[in-house]
Amino acid sequence: MAVVDSSLSLKEAESYYRKGLSPANDAIRAFLKDSPLIVYGARAINAHLPDWLDRETKDWDMLTPDNAEKQATTLEKKLDKRYSGDFFAVEPAVHEGTFRIRNRVTGEVVADVTLKEKEVEFKRIKGINYATLGYHEQHILETLDDPQASYRHWKDREALQRIKIFKAAKAKRAKRKPRTSGEDEWGFMYGLG
């Protein structure tokens, strides 16, 4: 097992790995329930869509109305406390106004906290503020028009496609008769086979 941050011992890294990812996600959710931060990006889109349209994502992207570095540091301390060690660190990201929380064992980014520059519509789902699908559609279309963001156009097109599929399924569901026994909320049959 290789440790990214050489100041961590193998014993410390083993302690981290034994706990898995769940404590990190649980700590982040708990932090978000008590804060004005807004989750955006793939995780927010997933929160609005049914599970069958989710895209796997490992990190959390958050917008804050105030000091992004302070919010990231507060969350980093909560993560360290949850794991009973110094396993996370805050660093400035490439984009100005964004601070990244990096896992010192794996080197992976756990969260990005960005100072929001404009008002963002959000919906509160299970106690957490998630940017709306409308916000994401508008943001994605702006990004697709930006040639400097071409490195992420494939990801944005895919997200936009998932949103369109959801809206079409939702519109179809609204027009159809009430569901019958054996159908899920989207009109698909379950329990067959």
> CA 59 to CA 25: how far, in whole Å?
9
Q: How much is the pTM?
A: 0.82
Residue 46 lies in a domain: yes
Instruction: Output the pLDDT for position 193.
Output: 42
Q: Write out the two tokens for 113.
A: 């906290």
What's the rounded mean pLDDT across residues 53-75?
Answer: 95
What's the rounded mean pLDDT across residues 57-62?
Answer: 94
Residue 54 lies in a domain: yes
Residue 129 lies in a domain: yes
pLDDT at 2 over 50: no
Residue 178 lies in a domain: no
Q: Write out the two tokens for 81.
A: 């406390």
Domain count, the chain: 1
Per the structure, the complete domain to which residue 146 belongs is given by 10-170
CATH of residue 143's domain is 3.30.460.60
Instruction: Kindly give the interhelix angle for 68-83 and 22-33, rounded to the nearest 10 degrees.
Output: 130
Whose CA is closest to 161, among 81, 45, 57, 25? Answer: 45
Q: Write out the two tokens for 20.
A: 């898995």
Whose CA is closest to 136, among 192, 55, 73? Answer: 55
Beta strands in 27-136 (DSSP E): 38-40, 60-64, 88-92, 98-103, 109-115, 122-125, 128-131
Residue 24 lies in a domain: yes
Mean pLDDT of the chain: 87
Residue 95 lies in a domain: yes
Residue 184 lies in a domain: no
Residue 191 lies in a domain: no
The residues, any chain, with a CB within 8 Å of residue 145's CB and separated by 6 or more, are none
Instruction: Output the pLDDT for position 190.
Output: 53
